[in-house]
């Protein structure tokens, strides 16, 4: 089954404690992206990757890091989480030639930073 898998689904952490949210896709997609979703603000793009070792900032990259060492994985790293990073996070992937949009989203990771 084609899917984008995020882990964990739920996470409660404390301010300043480094964390990683993993994202993996099994569709051999070149393009992957991270979003955060906040009430009334829609989805805002954090980082995206056009291919292995190629990453770039989205609209709200501050406080986040990403890496793309393998095609299937695109982890989101919060080096020093703060309460304003409490949000619902989504990973997405698509083929490079599959229209310029995200075709597949993960189930989401709900992060709470206290």
Partner 1 sequence: QQQVKQSPQSLIVQKGGISIINCAYENTAFDYFPWYQQFPGKGPALLIAIRPDVSEKKEGRFTISFNKSAKQFSLHIMDSQPGDSATYFCAASMANAGKSTFGDGTTLTVKP
- DSSP characters for 19-55? EEEEEEESS--SEEEEEEEETTTEEEEEEEEEETTEE
Cβ distance to partner 1 smaller for residue 14 or 43: 43
Site membership for partner 1, residue 31 (CB under 8 A)? yes
Structure tokens at 32: 């992957």
Stretch that binds partner 1, among 21-29, 61-69, 71-79, 94-102 (CB under 8 A): 94-102
Shortest CB 113 distance to partner 1, Å? 21
* x/- letters, 36..75, toward partner 1 (CB under 8 A): ----xxxxxx--xxx-----x-xx----------------
């Amino acid at each position: 089954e084609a899917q984008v898998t995020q882990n964990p689904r739920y996470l409660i952490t404390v301010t300043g404690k480094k964390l990683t949210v993993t994202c993996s896709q099994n569709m051999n997609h070149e393009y992957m992206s991270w979003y955060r979703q906040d009430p009334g603000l829609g989805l805002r793009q954090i980082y995206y990757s056009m291919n292995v070792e190629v990453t770039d900032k989205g609209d709200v990259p501050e406080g986040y890091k990403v890496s793309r060492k393998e095609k299937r994985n695109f982890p989101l790293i919060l080096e020093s989480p703060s309460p304003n990073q409490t949000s619902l996070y989504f990973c997405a992937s698509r083929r490079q030639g599959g229209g310029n949009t995200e075709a597949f989203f993960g189930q989401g990771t709900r992060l709470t930073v206290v």
